[in-house]
Structure 1
Amino acid sequence: MKQSALVLLLMLLAGCTGLRIDDSHTARGQSSRVQYIVLHYTSSDLPRSLQLLTQTEVSSHYLLGARPATVYRLVDENRRAWHAGDSAWQGRTWLNASSLGIELVNQGYEEDADGTRRWYPYPEEQIEVLITLLKDLMARHDLPPGSIVGHSDIAPQRKVDPGPLFPWRRLAEAGLIPWPDSARVTHYQTLFEQGLPEVAWFQQQLAEEGYQVPLHGELDDATRKVLRAFQMKYRPTRYDGDPDAETAALLLALRPMVGAE
């Protein structure tokens, strides 16, 4: 409900019941309900995306066209949109209640007969508008860097969007998300090539990053899907789900530096 409509409703209620509400005091102990911003692709063109996001039970707060990169606000930020589904990040679950959803018009991928996926790129104009929108949302909701995640981060067992061609590094360069320092990655990778950590170490590091991942020390399908989601974000040239030296280095380089490394 927009603020003007809410004020009108309160006035009507006051007239009907005699209730008077004093808004002259404001509590210090409050913050935005928004904890995360979740990025998606629509897997369809603009007309179909608008139809799906306005005429069905699926919704998002914003939809970004591609050419031109028009920003559509479909759900008020104070209300819940149905974009995340069964999801988890940093111990929080069912993130519809604590996130803003942004859908980017993008066809996703086409799959060849042999199972090879051909992904659709994101136009530069669309990414520039997205970064502007994200900076505004982060500032207004007082969100720290790292609050922006992909659908594949919060639901790695069933989702792959926004896909390997989404330019996460551009968001890092804009100060919106953390990014592993290349020198630290090179240093750690050299060490890990001499001896790779156990699967349990990878699971623990992924959990500390925010992913919901098994912690049983086995390289099962669920763990591989989480590894693929992480690799798709930070190493999109190869996301095979294998716990290799470079993936270990990327995970460790995202942690704060300890002592003299």
Structure 2
Amino acid sequence: MFVDSHCHLDRLDKSPEELAEVIKFARNRGVEHFLCVCVSVTDYPQMLDTVKHFADVSVSCGVHPLHQEDACSYEDLLAMADNKDVVAIGETGLDYFYSPDTKAVQLTSFIDHIKVANALKKPLIIHTRGAKEDTIALLQQYKAPETKGVLHCFTEDWDMAKAAIELGFYISISGIVTFKKALELQDVVKHIPIEKLLIETDSPWLAPVPYRGKQNQPGYVREVGEFIAQLKGLSVAELAQATTQNFYDLFAVKRTN
């Protein structure tokens, strides 16, 4: 059985009935749990309402680095995330590739998220692009020793992955790994210890081959898992078992199956 460790169910262009069919399709393909990740505290209540009927969907709370127009204070984030249904803080992080102009507010927001994760003893979900040095440096400076997390939709190099793993973080791989030109990422995946690996869709974006160009959905995490299993010389069952257990270990989610 698989887990989609990072998706945005509230961002799928689906009616409530269609979303239920999307979840059913994923379950029928062996996906047993879904982590719906928050990108904006403004949309957070609506996200909770979207997924509240699904017992196998967990949620996070945070502000994506590209949504800094929705930035909130440390105190407000702490209050919203201090909820038994919230299993992680984020997604947070730094993105200097798409938004170097908001670097200052991104840095402040990221530090606040790290501190909230420390205070609530919940893991961090981190988006990082074009900001390797600052991402690792801020984690080294502000993260409590017991705070864990994941670098999601990872596309950086092995040096960064290794540094994050040494800090107790997992590395999550999306459908990008299946793209023909993702040779460097494929090489990185070969080096990631299986006990530190997660898989995800990041749906509705980044659909894996053979669905590239279509709206992504959690059921397609199977293709991500199958591709990575082949890369690492594992059976699909071995890859699924390891990444699923890693998910439950990191997020302390109660297994529904």
Q: TM-score, normalised by structure 1?
A: 0.29
**Bigger fraction of residues in helix:** 2
* More RCO (CA 8 Å, sep 6+): 2
Q: TM-score, normalised by structure 2?
A: 0.30
Q: Say which one has the larger Rg.
A: 1
